[in-house]
Amino acid sequence: MDLNPHKPRHEPLPEAPEGYIWYGVYPNVELITFEELRRRIGEMFETQLQKRKLAKQGDADAQAD
């Protein structure tokens, strides 16, 4: 088995249609619109923001004890 990290492990994906982008890591890729990509990024951002708020709240609670 060739373990060269610079050698592709699969054939290149075909060109995405206008307004779409390939999203994911091969072989788990899907065609999504740019609007869907923006929505997913927003969800990831909100999730991280909530985790940070909970972590800060937990730190404050621990210091109060």
The DSSP output letter for 9 is: S
pLDDT at 12: 86
Task: Tell me the pLDDT tens digit for each residue of 43-62.
Answer: 999 999 999 999 988 877 77
pLDDT at 7: 74
pTM: 0.63
Q: Where are the domains of the chain?
A: 34-65
Task: Tell me the pLDDT tens digit for each residue of 5-41.
Answer: 777 777 888 999 999 999 998 889 999 999 999 999 9
From 22, 23, 20, select the one nearest 33 (Cα to Cα). 20
Query: In whole angstroms, what is the distance from residue 40 CA to residue 58 CA?
Result: 27
The residue ranges of DSSP E strands in 1-65, in sequence order, are 20-25, 28-33
